[in-house]
Amino acid sequence: MKIIVKNSKLEAAKYAARLLAEELKAKPDAVFGLATGRTMEPLYAELCAIAESENLDFSRARSFNLDEYAGLPGSDVNSYRAYMQMHLFDHVNFKETNLPDGVAPDAEAEAKRYDDAIKAAGLDVQLLGIGNNGHIGFNEPETAFDSRTRHVKLTEATIEQNQGLFPKPEDMPRYAFTMGIGTIMEAKKIILVATGSAKTGILAEAVLKPASEHVPASVLQNHADVVIVADKEAAAAIPAEYITEA
């Protein structure tokens, strides 16, 4: 596991965006696993800027997002589909972009369809944020490390973390679709981005304590190619000897 620490949120976002841009240059038909959340906003802004200034061509690349709220159609402004259109997909020319269908009539069938599609495509690189409770995607604490894509109930901690993003907090869905931890771990490379002081404690737990289902992100200790990109605030509790580059 490589841990890269940058001075600011923006510097962390730029570093991670550069990793994605280089991935595309090395493999124009790469399959990207993408994430949402506040952490990713400056990262996608930077990736769009690089795409423009360096003429990045995504026309052979595909993407699969980590998760989507259940009950929201992609046309809903609070859906992750809408987030992705606004921050990335409307600005770069991906061949194909995929998210779970939040309003699929049969949730179990939708989860299986999505998991099968990811497996068939093969993720080259998976981008991750981290929830304040250590979740990755919407894999909440105590999720099995071999879990697959499925329909899940969100925890109170996650509802609290994300409901401020809804005009009316009570409108935040209580269920979601998420790639499973086992699904995520099949990506060839994983980039986790963590910024801000709300993530300091949980990032240290994920990295320093033995991997445990109590902290979903700690599973990354078992993956052969992980880069954690953090700002100084999020990395504040990680001792210097764990840091690859500062």
The residues assigned a catalytic role are 67, 133, 135, 140
Shortest distance, position 123 Cβ to ligand GLP, whole Å: 15
For ligand GLP, which is the closer residue by CB, 143 or 162?
162
Of positions 67, 68, 110, 140, contacts ligand GLP by CB under 6 A: 67
**Should residue 158 be labelled a site residue for ligand GLP when binding is judged by CB under 6 A?**
yes
**Should residue 84 be labelled a site residue for ligand GLP when binding is judged by CB under 6 A?**
no
Contacts of 44 (CB under 8 A, 6+ apart): 17, 87, 88
For ligand GLP, which is the closer residue by CB, 56 or 80?
80
Contacts of 130 (CB under 8 A, 6+ apart): 136, 192, 194, 199, 202, 203, 206, 217
Residues 159-198 that bind ligand GLP (CB under 6 A): 162
Contacts of 83 (CB under 8 A, 6+ apart): 36
Shortest distance, position 151 Cβ to ligand GLP, whole Å: 14
For ligand GLP, which is the closer residue by CB, 92 or 161?
161
Of positions 16, 20, 56, 66, contacts ligand GLP by CB under 6 A: 66
Shortest distance, position 198 Cβ to ligand GLP, whole Å: 7
Give me the residues paired with residue 140 across strands.
Answer: none
- How far apart CA 5 and CA 218 sit, in angstroms, is 18
What binding mask, one character per residue, do residues 18-57 give for ligand GLP by CB under 6 A, x or -? -----------------xxxxx------------------
**Should residue 79 be labelled a site residue for ligand GLP when binding is judged by CB under 6 A?**
no
Size of the site for ligand GLP (CB under 6 A): 14
- How far apart CA 116 and CA 183 sit, in angstroms, is 10
- How far apart CA 221 and CA 181 sit, in angstroms, is 13
User: Rule CB under 6 A: which residues touch ligand GLP?
Assistant: 35-39, 66-67, 129-131, 137-138, 158, 162
